[in-house]
């Protein structure tokens, strides 16, 4: 554990974190300091920031509330840390990912190195070919906003039981939010927009991933969207109640309106791809389509509808 802390506080690690934050070209946070502002006195700023973390005088700033438009006409709320807070979060992420990432289940594909939507789609095809042709297509209700911080910190402690690091993470996820109406302090959730949040989101659902994967079911999860695959209609019906109970232990719930039971013969869409029979059709770019827009599309598609686009199929290997 001492090695992790030393690696975290090493000046070179902070320099690498700065480069990552700079290259991401994010906006200023609640303190109005831009990336260019920080770069004006880069060496001094990085040194002072590093020292403040090392001597425990560092305190995160409030998060800046930002709304970005979604393709369905609605908006998504982001909570943006300051440039300095993003650098410290990235520095910690640099040392935590090599420790935590290898412990994650093989069934999760979001926010992970060398994993992608395409690989998630390939895994679905793999389980389809193994006879898992019944599907529970589920979506979580306000996942980032619903995370129980106490449960999250307990799970994190299994990976890194260092009071100083846990204190930092707790401070980041509990930060107040600067809104147009003033400061708000939510009592649950983690900020969507913080550098460290994607890793924490996977930590929180890792027990769920492993629980489902240890049964006769198969799971493919991408962030808060997931499929549970089974070999029969009855088994996937049972899986529905099992999933609800597991999520309840994490104080999470599924969107009942967006969750359904189907199969490959009937067809479904997931992660911007249409699945029907043994074919897979890329329908849209997930980066261009919001989750709610994808799910609001017509849910029940027949083989006849898909045959019109059969030339775009990725056919099952023989």
* Percent of the chain surpassing pLDDT 70: 89
Residue 307 has pLDDT above 50, yes or no: no
What is the structure's pLDDT at 75?
86
Q: What is the pTM of this model?
A: 0.86
173/230 Cα distance (integer angstroms):
36
- β-pair partners for 270: 273
Q: Any idea which residue has 């260092």 for tokens? A: 162
Q: Please state, rounded to an integer, the average pLDDT across all residues of the chain.
A: 90
In residues, how long is the chain? 318
78-94 pLDDT, tens digit per residue, is: 999 999 999 999 999 99
Q: Residue 298: which pLDDT band, with cuts at 50, 70 and 90?
A: very low
Q: Which residue has the higher pLDDT, 42 or 257?
A: 42
- Of 267, 289, 288, nearest in space to 277 by CA: 267
What is the structure's pLDDT at 284?
67
Q: Residue 285: which pLDDT band, with cuts at 50, 70 and 90?
A: low
- Contact in structure between 162 and 31 (CB atoms under 8 Å): no
Residue 124 has pLDDT above 80, yes or no: yes
Kind and range of the H or E run holding 177: strand 177-179
Residue 286 has pLDDT above 80, yes or no: no
209-246 pLDDT, tens digit per residue, is: 999 999 999 999 999 999 999 999 999 999 999 999 99
The token duo for 25 is 């070209």
Q: Residue 1: which pLDDT band, with cuts at 50, 70 and 90?
A: low
209-219 pLDDT, tens digit per residue, is: 999 999 999 99
80/191 Cα distance (integer angstroms):
8
What is the structure's pLDDT at 185?
92
The token duo for 11 is 């000046």
What is the structure's pLDDT at 76?
87
43-101 pLDDT, tens digit per residue, is: 999 999 999 999 999 999 999 999 988 777 788 899 999 999 999 999 999 999 999 99
What is the structure's pLDDT at 309?
41
Other C-beta atoms closer than 10 Å to the C-beta of 219 total 24
Kind and range of the H or E run holding 296: helix 291-296
* Percent of the chain surpassing pLDDT 90: 82
């Amino acid at each position: 554990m001492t090695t992790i802390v030393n690696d975290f506080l090493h000046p070179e690690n902070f320099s690498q974190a700065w480069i990552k934050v700079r290259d991401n070209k994010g906006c200023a946070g609640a303190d109005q300091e831009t990336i260019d502002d920080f770069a004006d006195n880069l060496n001094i700023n990085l040194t002072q920031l590093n020292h403040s973390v090392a001597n425990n005088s560092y305190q995160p700033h409030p998060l800046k509330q930002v709304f970005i438009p979604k393709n369905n006409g609605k908006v998504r709320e982001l909570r943006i840390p300051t440039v300095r807070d993003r650098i410290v979060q990235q520095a910690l992420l640099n040392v935590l990912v090599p420790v935590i990432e290898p412990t994650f289940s093989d069934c999760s594909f979001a926010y992970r190195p060398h994993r992608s939507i395409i690989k998630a789609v390939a895994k679905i095809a793999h389980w389809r070919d193994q006879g898992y042709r019944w599907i529970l297509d589920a979506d979580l209700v306000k996942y980032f906003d619903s995370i129980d911080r106490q449960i999250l910190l307990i799970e994190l402690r299994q990976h890194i039981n260092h009071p100083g690091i846990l204190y930092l993470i707790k401070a980041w996820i509990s930060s107040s939010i600067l809104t147009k109406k003033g400061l708000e302090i939510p009592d649950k959730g983690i900020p969507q927009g913080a550098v460290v949040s994607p890793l924490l989101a996977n930590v929180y659902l890792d027990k769920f991933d492993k629980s489902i994967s240890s049964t006769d079911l198969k799971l493919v999860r991408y962030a808060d969207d997931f499929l549970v695959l089974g070999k029969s209609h009855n088994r996937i019906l049972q899986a529905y109640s099992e999933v609800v109970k597991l999520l309840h232990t994490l104080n999470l719930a599924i969107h009942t309106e967006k969750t359904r039971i189907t199969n490959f013969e009937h067809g479904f869409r997931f992660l911007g791809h249409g699945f029907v029979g043994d074919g897979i059709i890329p329908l849209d770019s997930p980066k261009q389509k919001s989750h709610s827009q994808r799910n609001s599309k017509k849910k029940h598609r027949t083989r006849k509808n898909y045959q019109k686009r059969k030339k775009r199929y990725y056919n099952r290997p023989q």
